[in-house]
Amino acid sequence: MRKQIAAANWKMNLSLQEGETLLETIIKQDGNLSDNRKVVFAVPAPYLVMAVGKIASEPHIHVAAQNVYSKKSGAYTGETSVAMLASIGVDHAIIGHSERREYFNESNQLLAEKVKICLEENITPIFCCGEALPVREANGQNDFVTRQLEESLFNLPAEQIVKVVIAYEPIWAIGTGKTASSDQAQEMHAHIRSQFAAKYGDEVANSISILYGGSVKASNAKDIFGKPDVDGGLVGGSSLIADEFIAIIKALK
Ligand code: PEP
């Protein structure tokens, strides 16, 4: 079975103490986790060491950076390298969140470099893709997402691409309370999988986890995650509320 993943994206929220309490509350729940059912916490950079410490005895819970820099090391004041992240035990990173694409002008080409450098350090990239509302209204979402995949990922060989996790996040559904219907999510996830199949073959395509992101909450997670090509979610707002995120974890297939 493909890995089912509940990934929390705290974004730039919570104090250290609030973050610690939230993590402790969620970790002590029995989420029925396994090698194929895992949880990832993408916490703000100053809390990564704390989070790695808290999950140290939890084999199915991981910590992610919300971003990485595209260069190995050097005179890049304020940036964080993948080697630094790996050295503290971070093993996942969100790459290409729409907020970074929009506010920090991250291009598909830059994101290709970030994905590549993550893989060099055995950090699993959670690669975000997804269209804005005008693209959806013009029915251009499939071509738009295909281009994001082609320009950022399809230069990777098969043995590397299988290590990438995809998060489909329609921009119009992020933080807006508007969720794509489970059918809309399934349609796009099937499209994304078909693009991987065309490029790398069915076996590779069927092994890649594709998460849905965009106003996932306890009340809609089961419906969305129940779709055959949806392998869990990347969750913003609802990941800040312990009971909500616990219910989302329990909604994984
Ligand atoms: C996100 O930040 O990736 C996200 C999907 O946010 P929200 O769940 O708040 O829409």
Q: What is the pLDDT of residue 173?
A: 87
Q: What is the pLDDT of residue 191?
A: 98
Q: Nearest C-alpha to atom 1 of ligand 1 is from which residue? A: 236
SS (H, E, C) 184-218: HHHHHHHHHHHHHHHHHCHHHHHHCCEEEECCCCH
d(CA 64, CA 81): 13
Residue 25's Cβ-side half-sphere holds a number of Cα atoms within 13 Å equal to 15
Question: Is 97 considered catalytic here?
Answer: yes
Q: Counting every residue, how long is the chain? A: 253
What is the largest distance, in Å, between two alpha-carbon atoms of the chain?
Answer: 48
Nearest to 161 by CA among 191, 118, 131, 190: 118
Q: What is the pLDDT of residues 156-174, one digit of tens each?
A: 999 999 999 999 999 998 8
Question: Is 62 considered catalytic here?
Answer: no
Nearest to 193 by CA among 239, 149, 138: 149
The pTM assigned to this predicted structure is 0.97
Q: What is the pLDDT of residue 49?
A: 98
Q: What is the pLDDT of residues 100-115, one digit of tens each?
A: 999 999 999 999 999 9
Best residue for ligand 1 mutational test, from 14, 169, 179, 240 (most atoms within 8 Å of Cβ): 169
Q: What is the pLDDT of residues 17-26, one digit of tens each?
A: 999 999 999 9
- Count of CB atoms within 10 A of residue 99's CB? 21
Q: Is the pLDDT of residue 60 over 90?
A: yes
Nearest to 68 by CA among 80, 78, 77, 76: 80
Mean of the pLDDT values across residues 224-242? 98
Q: What is the pLDDT of residue 179?
A: 81
Q: Quote the strand ranges of 14-134, DSSP E.
A: 37-42, 61-65, 92-95, 124-129
Strands 92-95 and 61-65, bridge-based pairing: parallel
Measure 7 CA to ligand 1 centroid, in angstroms.
10
Q: Is the pLDDT of residue 30 over 80?
A: no
Of residues 62, 169, 189, 244, which has the active-site annotation? 169
The secondary element (H helix, E strand) that includes residue 8 is: strand 4-9
The secondary element (H helix, E strand) that includes residue 161 is: helix 158-161
Q: Is the pLDDT of residue 176 over 90?
A: no
Measure 174 CA to ligand 1 centroid, in angstroms.
5
- Measured N-to-C along each axis, helices 242-250 and 16-27 cross at an angle, to the nearest 10 degrees, of 40
- Catalogue all structural domains in the chain, each as residue range(s) with its CATH number: 4-250 (3.20.20.70)
Report angle CA 60, 1, 191 to the nearest 5 degrees: 110
